Chain A
Amino acid sequence: MRAPIVGLLLALLAGAGTETATQQLPVQDPGGRGGRAGGAPETRTGTGIVIGRVVEGVTNAGVPGAVVTIAGGGAPQQRVRVDPNGRFVLRDLPSGEFNIGASKPGYVGGSAGQRLPNGPSRPVELADGGRLGDLTLRLWKGGAIGGTVLDEGGEPVVGIKVMLAERRLVNGKRKLAGGQYSSAVTDDRGTYRFGTVAPGDYFVVARTSEEEIARGLMSLVAGDPGVIIPFATRAMGGRPEDLISLEAALRVYPPVFHPSALSPSEAAPVTVQSGEVRLGVDIRMKLVPIARLSGTLAGAPSGNQPQVRLVLSDPEGSEFVVATPIGMQGDKFDFLAVPAGKYVLRAYQSPRATPPPGAPPGLLPGGRGRGSTSPPPFPTEPAYSASVPITVNGLETASLTVTLRPGATISGRIEFDGAAAPPGSDQFGRLLISVLPEEPMTPGQSMRARVEPDGTFRTVSLPPGKYRLRLSPLASWTPMSAMSNGRDLFDEALDLDTADVTDVVVTFSDRPFASVSGTVRNAQGAPDPDALVAIFPVDPKLRTDLSPSARRLHLARTTKAGQYAIPGLLPGEYLIVAGGDELYENWLEASALQTLARRATRIEIAEGDARSQDLRSGSVR
C-alpha cells in the first residue's frame, strides 16, 4: 500500500526542481544511413603480458582494491583486482592498441597515460607476444565539498536539497553548465557533503524541493491507509495537482548559491584540486513566499502536436533550471510552487513532419516506435518557442498567456571546388550537418538538418538565437566555408531571428590541407614524450569558436620520441606552443589563449603546406 501511494505523491510533486536537463545533442540527419550492424566484435588472444602498478597520483603509493580493466584492440575484456601493493598482471594479450584503466570508488582518473586527473589518456600499444613490465596507472583521490545550510536565524536547515553544478568552459566562457547535477540532502545537523569530486570549479546551490513540501502529505501514509485512499482515488481519476492548495503561510527556500547569492553571476564558485577537501562551503538561506504559476500557451497550433516543453530558468543565460510544470493539459500549464524571484520562462514545441496526404491524424511514416526500421520523418513544420522574463513576488496565483512564435530555418546548397569529380548525390545522405546553438536550449530542442539529393540542405525550424554550422567531410572532400551574406558561418555565429536564412553556400574542397610537424624538446634539450602541442589562429576573430569542435584550434600529444604532427590546417597565421598536460584542461578559454599567445611561436601556413616546426616545452600557466 505504502509504496504506490508514495510514488503517486512523488509523481505529483516532482515536476519542478528537476535538474536533469536532458539535452538533445546537435544532431544530424544521416538519412537513415550509417550505424554499424550489431553484434559483439570478435575477440583474439595472444601471449602478450602487461605488468604494472596502480598508484595514487600525488603520493605514488599503491592503491589496493583497485580494479584494472583492459578493453579494445580485439582482446577479451579482462578485469583484475590489484594486489595489496597495487600491482597487476594482464595476460593472454594479442598485438594491438588497448585502453587500460584502473578504477576505485572515491578516485578519479586511472586511464593509461593520464598524468593529471583531467589529463588526456594514451592507448597502450603491444606487439605480438610483447611484454610491458612497467605500466603505471594513476588514480587521484577525489576532492570533497561540504558545508552547512543555515537559515536567516543561523539555525541549520535540515533535509534541504543541495546541488553541485560544474562551472565549465562553454564556448570559451566559464559558466554554470546544464545537465544532471549531483545532489545531496542536508542531514539532521544541516550539513551536506559531496565526495569524489573531480578537480574543477563548482557552484553549490540549495533549494526547497517540491518533495519536501510533500513530506506532510507523505506522513499521512505512515498512519491509517484509509486516510490516503480518498486522495489517491481522486488523484487517479483526474489531475492530482487539482487537489492541492498552497496556503499563504507556506514559504520555501529559493535556489541560493554559496554563499548567499540568488544567481550564478553573484555566486562564489568553489575550486577543488585533486584530493582537496573544501569544507565550510556554507549557504545562508532565506524563506520567500511561494507562487503558483499557471497559464495558457498561445500562438502554436493546437491539435495533434508535440508536447510543449516548459522550464523556468536562470535569467542570466545559464542552463540552471529552477522549475518545470507539474501538469500540462493541452495548452494549459501549471507550475505548482515557484519561489519569489526573477526567471526566464522558456517554452518550446518541437517541429513535426508534415503528414502525408490522406494519412489519418497522428500517423506519420517511420518513426522511432517499436519495430520501426525507417528513420523518423524529417520535421518540416515550424517549431514554436517563447522566452519571456518573469518576476514572481509570491503570495499569489497568477495566470499568464505565453505566446509562442514560429522559428526559422537555415538552408542553402553545397558546392564542390576541386580537381577530382565531385561525389555523387547518392553519397549526400552520409553528410552530417550539425547546428550548434550558442545559447541555452530548452531541453529536447531539435537540431536536425538534412541534405537533399540535389545538393540543397535545410535545418529544422529553429528558435531565435545564435547558431554555428558544422558539416562532416564527404569522402575526400572537406567543407571549407559556409558563406551567407558575406560571412563564413564556420567562423562566425549566425544570429537567427524569425526569418529564414536561405542563402548559405557550403563549399567543399579536395585540396590537401596543410600540416605542421616537428619535435618538442624539454628544457634540457631532450625530446619530450609527454608534451601537448596547441595551435590556434593569430587573429582573435578567428578564435571566437572555442567549442570542442572548433576547426581552427588543434591540440596534439607527442610520441615517445617527442614528435608531433597536426594535420587538417586551414591557411592562415597561427600561434603554436608546447606545454604539459595542464594545457588540456583550460586551453579552450579566451583568457588562456591570450596567456598562451605570449609564449607561442608565430607561423604562417599556406594552402597545402607541410610545415616543420620544432618546439620547446615548458610551463604554459
Chain B
Amino acid sequence: MSTALLPALVASVLLAQQPRDVRPAMKLGTAVLSGVVVSEETASRPLKRVNIGVLSMDDAQVRLMMTDDAGRFVVPALPAGRYHVTASKPPYVDSVYGARLPGRPGTAIVLKDGERRSDLVLKLLPGGAITGVVTDEFGQPAVGVRVELLEPRRPAGEAMITSVMTMLSGMLLPGQTTDDRGVYRFSGLPPGQYIVAATPVDLAGGNARALTEEDVQTATREATTTPRPPSTPTSTRAPTSTVINQEQRPERPMQTSGMPFMNMPPVPGPGNAGPARGPTVGYAPVYYPGTTSASEAAPITIGPGDERRDVDIVARPVPTTRIEGMVFGPDGQPAPLISIRIRAEDRIETIATAFLSMSMGVQTRPDGYFALNGIAPGRYTIQARTMARPALPGVPGAPPPASPPALWASAEITADGQPITGLTLTLQPGMTISGRVIFDGGKEPPNGVSSVSIAAVPGRDAGILPIAGGSTRPAADGTFTITGLIPGRYRLNGTVTENLVPIFWRDVSVVSDGRDVSDLPFEIRPGQSVTGVVMTVSDKQQELSGVLQDASGRPASEYTMILFPANRAYWLPDSRRILIGRPGTDGHFAFKGPLGPPPGDYLLAAVTDLRPDEQYDRAFLDLLAKESVKVTIGPGEIKTQDVRLVK
C-alpha cells in the first residue's frame, strides 16, 4: 500500500480496530519516477489530468495517478524493477512510454534502488475524428443505427478488416449508434485508414411486407364497395368502459445508447413471425460511401487531430428472403430443436454483422421445420448443428462426461428476395479427432492427466463467432477424442489448468501422421476423422534473453525485437512461434514465461518500428530473415543472446 494512502476516513460507522486489509500490501521501495505529459503537436503544451498507469513487470502491481495542472506526475516509493508507464486522456491517443507510434510496444524503464528518474516525457497525439449522418431512403435521419469503425489490415499479407473497439458508456464496443439526428461521431482516433459501416435498425427484422400504391388502392376499394358488418361488434352487454390498469402502461421508449446491440431487431423465429404476405424488405449493412460490399468501401485517411465531417451514409431497404426448410436426422426422421445458423459468405464479417447473424439463428420446431426471415441478398451458408454438450468445463480429475455425438448439416443458398422453400438438411455425425496425451519425461502435472485440456481451434476463416471447434479432457490412460467437429481447418492445442486457471504447462508438440498439427493447421473433410494424434505436454519453459546494443556497445532500447521460426512453414498468423518484445531502458530483452518460445530453430532481428500484425507478414519476414541472427533453442533451454546493431 502506498504511503500516500493514509487512513483518514470520516465515517459514522464503526472503524475496525483490527487489521482488516484483505489485500497484500503493495511493495514499497525507494526509487522515484517523475515526468511530464505534453501534447504532440506543433504548439506542444503540458496536459493536465492525464491518467497515468505504472505497471511493474516484476510483480504486476499497478499504480494509477493523474497529472497536475502543469502536466507533471510523480510516482514515489517504487521498488527496484522494470516498469511500463502509460498515459491516457481522451481525445488524445493513449500512449505508452517509449512507443514510437500509437499502438506500438513501449519501453520498460529499469529502476535501481534509490534511483530518481525525473526526465520522463510522454507525448500524447491529438486523436482524429470521423463524423457523419445516416439517413434513410426518405432522407430522414436514421436513428439508432449501429455504426462500426473498421480498420483495413494486411496481416500475413492477407487483406482483412478488423473492428476498432471504442470506449462507450463504460464498455468497449465495436461502434456506436446514431442519435436522434442520425449523427454519429468517432473521436480520439490514432492516425490511420478507416472504413465506416452502418447496420440500420430494422424493427421488423427484415420481415416487413413492402406496401405498394396498388395494395392501398385495392384495399380501399374492397373496404368501401363490399358491404360488411360494422367494425365494432354490437353487444347487448351494458356499456363497459376500459378500466385502465396503471401498472400496464404502454412502454415508454427511451434512448438506449450504450448497450451493445440494444437496437437489434426483434428476433424473427418460427414462433413469432408468420409468413408475410407479398414481398418483404429489410436493411443490410452499408459501407461508406453507400455500398453493401466491404471491398467497395472507401477508406478514410485520418492524420493527427484531423476531423472528417462528411462521412454520410444513406440506408436503403433491400428485398429480403424467407427461407423455409426441414431438418432430418441420420435416421430420416424430422429433427426437433436443432440450432440453425446462417452466415454470409460474400460479406466481410464484422462484430455487428456477426451478432446480427447470431440473432437470426433459430431452432427447428418439434416437426423439424424451420424458417429464417429477413435475409438480405447474398450468398450464405446455412448450418444445422446439434448443441453438443461440451466436455469442458469438466471437473479436473474426473473422467470426461459423456456427451451424445454431435450432428451437423449445411447448405449453401443464394438469397435474392424470392422465398426459398423446401430446403432439406440431413444431419450427419460430426467428425472426430482422437489420440493420446503423453508427458515429456513421464512427469505428470500436479492434478494428473485429466487437468490437460485439448482444444481443436478453428482457423481464422471460421469467422468472428466460430461455430466449429471442440474441446475435451483425456481419460485416465491419456487417450482423448474430440467429437462433433464440422468440416474445416483446425489446429490442436493443449494446456494444463489448475482450478480452471492455466498453469505453466502446455503442449510441446502435437503430431498426427508425422505432421505437426499444433502449429500448422490441418483440414478435416466430411466423413474423415483424424486418429492417432500424439500430444506431448511438458512443464519445461524455454527462454531467450539478451542485451541489445548499438554500434558503440551502449544499450539500445528504441527497437523492437522479433523472434521468428527459421522454417517458413511456421510463418502463420497468430503463430505462437512468432514473438515480439521491446528492450528496456537497459537494452535487456527477454522472451520467456508461459508464452515463451517452443523449442526449435529461430531467427532473431531488431527493427525500428513494427506495424500491428506486421510480424506475421511473410514478405516482411523474408526481408528480415536476411538481417537476422540464427538461434537454436532446445527443450527447457535458458539461452542468452546479445545482439549488437551494426548500422
Contact B144 A398 (CB under 8 A): no
Q: Which of B551-608 contact A (CB under 8 A)?
A: 579-582, 591, 593-595
Instruction: Flag the segment in B256-264, B429-437, B468-476, B519-527 that touches A.
Output: B256-264
**Which residues does chain A contribute within 8 Å of B63, judged by CB atoms?**
244-245, 247
Asked if A106 meets B180 with Cβ closer than 8 Å, knowing A40-B271, A227-B105, the reply is yes
Question: Is B84 an interface residue, CB under 8 A from the partner?
Answer: yes
Asked if A287 meets B87 with Cβ closer than 8 Å, knowing A17-B170, A105-B263, A245-B61, the reply is no
Question: Is B231 an interface residue, CB under 8 A from the partner?
Answer: yes
Contact B62 A219 (CB under 8 A): no
Contact-residue bracket for chain B: 35 or more
Question: Is A554 an interface residue, CB under 8 A from the partner?
Answer: yes
Please, how many angstroms separate the alpha-carbon atoms of A222 and B190 in the complex? Answer: 11
Contact A401 B15 (CB under 8 A): yes
Contact A108 B253 (CB under 8 A): yes
Mostly, the B contact residues are loop
Closest to A156 in B: B91
Please, how many angstroms separate the alpha-carbon atoms of A234 and B58 in the complex? Answer: 11
**Which residues does chain B contribute within 8 Å of A548, judged by CB atoms?**
245-247, 249
Contact A247 B143 (CB under 8 A): no
Please, how many angstroms separate the alpha-carbon atoms of A235 and B60 in the complex? Answer: 9
**Interchain residue pairs A-B with the least CB separation, the first 9:** A195-B180, A216-B53, A398-B9, A219-B94, A224-B105, A106-B143, A188-B91, A188-B187, A159-B90
Closest to A296 in B: B20
**Which residues does chain B contribute within 8 Å of A397, judged by CB atoms?**
1, 5-7
Contact B204 A79 (CB under 8 A): yes
B interface footprint on A553-593 (CB within 8 Å = 1, 0 otherwise): 01111111101111110000000000000001000100000
Closest to B129 in A: A188
Closest to A118 in B: B252
Chain B residues proximal to chain A, CB less than 8 Å: 1-2, 4-16, 20-24, 26, 49, 51-53, 55, 57-68, 73-75, 84, 86-91, 94-96, 99, 102-106, 108, 127, 129, 136-138, 140-145, 165, 167-172, 179-181, 185, 187-188, 201, 203-205, 207-213, 215-216, 219-220, 222-224, 226, 228-233, 238-247, 249-250, 252-258, 263, 271-274, 276-277, 281, 317, 501-502, 579-582, 591, 593-595
**Which residues does chain A contribute within 8 Å of B65, judged by CB atoms?**
246-250
Please, how many angstroms separate the alpha-carbon atoms of A517 and B240 in the complex? Answer: 9
Q: Which of A151-193 contact B (CB under 8 A)?
A: 151, 158-159, 161, 164, 166, 182-185, 187-188, 193
Question: Is A33 an interface residue, CB under 8 A from the partner?
Answer: no
A243 interface neighbour in B60, B106, B180, B239, Cβ under 8 Å: B60
Closest to A83 in B: B211
Question: Is A396 an interface residue, CB under 8 A from the partner?
Answer: yes
Please, how many angstroms separate the alpha-carbon atoms of A280 and B369 in the complex? Answer: 55
B73 interface neighbour in A64, A239, A249, Cβ under 8 Å: A249
Asked if A391 meets B11 with Cβ closer than 8 Å, knowing A105-B143, A296-B20, the reply is yes
Contact B209 A78 (CB under 8 A): yes
Please, how many angstroms separate the alpha-carbon atoms of A144 and B180 in the complex? Answer: 7
Question: Is A121 an interface residue, CB under 8 A from the partner?
Answer: yes
Contact A125 B232 (CB under 8 A): yes
Contact A196 B241 (CB under 8 A): no
Q: A7 to nearest B CB, angstroms?
A: 8
Asked if A182 meets B231 with Cβ closer than 8 Å, knowing A64-B140, A216-B87, A224-B106, the reply is no
Asked if A127 meets B96 with Cβ closer than 8 Å, knowing A142-B255, A215-B167, the reply is no
Contact A401 B16 (CB under 8 A): yes
Contact B243 A294 (CB under 8 A): no
Contact A212 B106 (CB under 8 A): no
**Which residues does chain B contribute within 8 Å of A111, judged by CB atoms?**
250
Please, how many angstroms separate the alpha-carbon atoms of A198 and B249 in the complex? Answer: 14
Instruction: Flag the segment in A130-138, A364-372, A458-466 that touches B.
Output: A130-138
Contact B91 A220 (CB under 8 A): no
Residue count of chain A within 8 Å CB distance of chain B: 156
Contact B22 A127 (CB under 8 A): no
Q: A27 to nearest B CB, angstroms?
A: 14
Contact A81 B53 (CB under 8 A): no
B5 interface neighbour in A88, A215, A246, Cβ under 8 Å: A246
B interface footprint on A45-78 (CB within 8 Å = 1, 0 otherwise): 0000101000000000000110101000000111
Question: Is A267 an interface residue, CB under 8 A from the partner?
Answer: no
A400 interface neighbour in B13, B276, B501, Cβ under 8 Å: B13
Asked if A120 meets B165 with Cβ closer than 8 Å, knowing A127-B231, A224-B106, A391-B11, the reply is no
Closest to A386 in B: B13
Contact A565 B240 (CB under 8 A): yes
B252 interface neighbour in A127, A198, A392, Cβ under 8 Å: A198
Please, how many angstroms separate the alpha-carbon atoms of A226 and B243 in the complex? Answer: 66
**Which residues does chain B contribute within 8 Å of A584, judged by CB atoms?**
244, 249
Extra A-B contacts (10), CB below 8 Å, given A120-B250, A291-B9:
A51-B223, A80-B211, A89-B219, A111-B250, A133-B223, A188-B188, A212-B51, A215-B88, A549-B246, A565-B238
Contact B143 A211 (CB under 8 A): no
Question: Is A10 an interface residue, CB under 8 A from the partner?
Answer: yes
Closest to A106 in B: B143
Asked if A295 meets B88 with Cβ closer than 8 Å, knowing A84-B138, A133-B220, the reply is no
Q: A447 to nearest B CB, angstroms?
A: 15
Question: Is A104 an interface residue, CB under 8 A from the partner?
Answer: yes
Please, how many angstroms separate the alpha-carbon atoms of A476 and B55 in the complex? Answer: 70
Contact A244 B62 (CB under 8 A): yes
B255 interface neighbour in A127, A151, A195, A568, Cβ under 8 Å: A195
**Which residues does chain A contribute within 8 Å of B168, judged by CB atoms?**
185
B interface footprint on A83-95 (CB within 8 Å = 1, 0 otherwise): 1100111011001
Contact B501 A393 (CB under 8 A): no
**Which residues does chain B contribute within 8 Å of A390, judged by CB atoms?**
11-13
Q: A82 to nearest B CB, angstroms?
A: 6
Asked if A133 meets B224 with Cβ closer than 8 Å, knowing A195-B180, A243-B60, A243-B61, the reply is yes
Question: Is A293 an interface residue, CB under 8 A from the partner?
Answer: yes
Q: A230 to nearest B CB, angstroms?
A: 4
Closest to A89 in B: B219
A131 interface neighbour in B57, B180, B181, B231, Cβ under 8 Å: B231
Contact B215 A89 (CB under 8 A): yes
